[in-house]
Structure 1
């Protein structure tokens, strides 16, 4: 039985290398390759993959949001997140979104192929180092609103700019920023964004 694969990564060289490696496996066939998150579901509906390998950071929808949408649209398709960003918070968010595999891009080809087989058979596969880091870091201390405000703050705008983006008053934005800075032990807003991003909380 051949495992049909869909690859989604905005870096064409990485996507091509993954496709070449996985196509060498006798029981695997790459049936679709896309470079954007919003191309995943149309490609999946057209090519009917068994397993989708998704990058985390892509234009048109990140891999975690795309995982949630793909699992809702096509529950039979298993998802493996393959990412450069081995951040603990990403792992938890990906699993909650419905991913059953989470590996980093420098995983050896043989291990990646084995991970695909195991996910296809119904098992969960998680990079062991990342799993340990995730347990050590724990869950995000940020509320949904605090995370939303920090995501808006990444652009570096003023409090009023952020307030317009998230549809909150400037006073509420200041409160959320202050709380997020405290929870991340950060020096300022930019530092809070950095800490939250490094831990995969945004």
Structure 2
């Protein structure tokens, strides 16, 4: 059973999310709170598997809770649920090592799927949010990552990229994994599209 605490100051959304999540056989909301400070107190007491956190709440924000969870080395995984594509918020979430940064208007099925993936060890950031935040900021890719992505854009295979850039296949795969993560891309084609759209390729 995956135990969760929900911190959301909009009462209607709080109740709706709690009801939806509790319908799942392997999910249980063990507490839902409209105050950030109360949610943090309960997280310390119960140490749930997941903390679903709104950003803007009274007394303590979801980002502050996520940072405290990280600072205290709790086993709880933080998931930020937000409507804000805000660069500062996103940077704070990454610094707090949140496991998920998701949109509130995602479907309940997407949220439930995300919870299961995060419990399996994945880190999930909504691509729409990441790309919005990335817009207008410096290229996050290193020179070698750009070279690898240029090879992908040219239609080269991993083996061809390896040969042309004098890298091992494993190193190329590591670069590709880093590129997908930095650009919040699901696959190589999407990574090329994001980089070209931003003028980084």
What TM-score, normalized to structure 1?
Answer: 0.64
Q: Partner residue of 1:108?
A: 107
Equivalences for residues 44-59 of structure 1 within 5 A: 44-59=43-58
Going from structure 1 to structure 2, the CA distance change for 1:96 and 1:30 (only over 3 Å counts) comes to same
Q: Which has the higher contact order (CA 8 A, sep 6+)?
A: 1
Q: Which residue of 1 aligns with 2:74?
A: 75
Match status 1:138 vs 2:137 = yes
Paired residue for 1:124? 123
- Structure 1: which 5+ residue stretches go unaligned? 140-202
Which position in structure 1 is the counterpart of 2:187?
A: none
Provide the rounded CA distance (Å) in 1 between the counterparts of 2:25 and 2:87.
Answer: 33
| 1:88 Cα deviation from its structure 2 partner | 3.5
Could you say which residue in structure 2 is the equivalent of 1:18? 17
Q: Which runs of 5+ in 2 are unaligned?
A: 139-201
Instruction: Give TM-score, length-normalised by structure 2.
Output: 0.64
Separation (CA, whole Å) in 2 of partners of 1:26 and 1:91: 32
Contact 1:86 1:130 (8 Å CA) reproduced: yes
Aligned residue-pair number: 138
1:64: Cα distance to partner?
Answer: 0.9
Q: How many Å separate the matches in 2 of 1:22 and 1:86?
A: 25
CA RMSD of aligned residues (A): 1.5
TM superposition outliers: structure 1 runs of 4+ over 6 Å: none
